Each structure stands twice: as C-alpha cells, then as structure tokens.
Amino acid sequence: MITQIIEILKGDITQLEVDVIVNAANEHLIPGGGVDGAIHRAGGSSIREEAKVYIQAHKLLNPGEVMSTTAGLLRAKRVIHTVGPRYKIGEDRSDQLRNCYKNSMVLAEEEGMSSVAFPCISAGVFGYPIREAAEIAFSTVVEVLAHQSTVKRVYFVCFDEVNFSIYNQLYQELTTG
C-alpha cells in the first residue's frame, strides 16, 4: 500500500538518515544552488571529486540520466545525481522528468538500497510547474515500486511550504481517492 511506502516531508534533505539521497544536479555535476548546493556543502568534497571523475569520462549528465557517488559527510549511504529537464512552454519534457525518478529508483535497487529521498526535481529554478512535476514524480515512483524488490521506503522532501502543500495535497488525493 502506498501509505506504508511513501512519505511526504518538509525540511532539509541533507539531514535525513536514508540509504540514498537523490540530487537534482546540473549537467556538469558541479555544485550549484538549491538542493544541489546544499548536498555538496553538507556532504563535503568527496562527492564533487567522484562527480568530476564521471564528467571527465562522460562529458555531461543529460536530463533523465543518473549516476551515483559517495554521500561523503551526509547521513545517507549514497547520493544519486540526476538532471531534471528545464521547463519550456510548448515542449513536452515529461519523459525526461519521469526518467529522473525511474532511473534513480532502478539505480538504488541495483545498489541494494532500501530507502530513497527525492527532492522536488525541476520544480525550482528549472521552472517545472509544481503540481505537474509532483504528479509525474508520484506516478513514476508508484509504477516502479510495483516492480521493485529492494526499495521499501520513498520520501519526497519539500524544502518550502508551497511545494510541501502541493505534494501533500496530491498524496492525499492518491491515497484517499
């Protein structure tokens, strides 16, 4: 049942004690603003060093793709980095956003992780409408969980009240309707 697996939280994702924290990264995997900057600041330089090695070998991480690094000083075991799509009116980038969640869940399972914390991917400076981004996040995670064996807990962590309210409202609709 979804209510036993998924939880909506408001707060700082870097403070969670989970197996995996998903980072809403930029394509160069360099520390940026928002959740990305917070994860790099709290996790320390080892995250950046592993990301740098990846970029040297692959050049960029494209929207929807994932890679993982150590969690450094975070309470998590790993950080999965994914690049959300930048929202553009008239362009459907929902598949890229879906892939952020799907590929993160698949990688978490491949690495034997049982708990995953997601930020609100693309719903900040990348401009995705929050409700639409949340619907994609929920539907994708629920679909993947139906076929997962190792992931037992998923947290959607909202930094501000606006995102938390929208995610929580959608969660209530899904679990009561």
89-127 confidence digits (pLDDT tens): 888 899 999 999 999 999 999 999 999 999 999 998 888
60-74 confidence digits (pLDDT tens): 999 999 999 999 999
| Average pLDDT value for residue range 27-35 | 90
Q: What are the boundaries of each domain within the chain? A: 2-176
Q: Which sequence positions are flagged as catalytic?
A: 36
CA 130 to chain centre: 14
Fold of 2-176: Leucine Aminopeptidase, subunit E; domain 1 (3.40.220)
- Residue 2 binned pLDDT confidence (cut-offs 50, 70, 90): low
Give the number of other Cβ atoms within 10 Å of residue 70's Cβ: 16
Question: Which stretches of 42-101 are assigned E, i.e. beta strand?
Answer: 66-70, 78-83
- Residue 4 binned pLDDT confidence (cut-offs 50, 70, 90): low
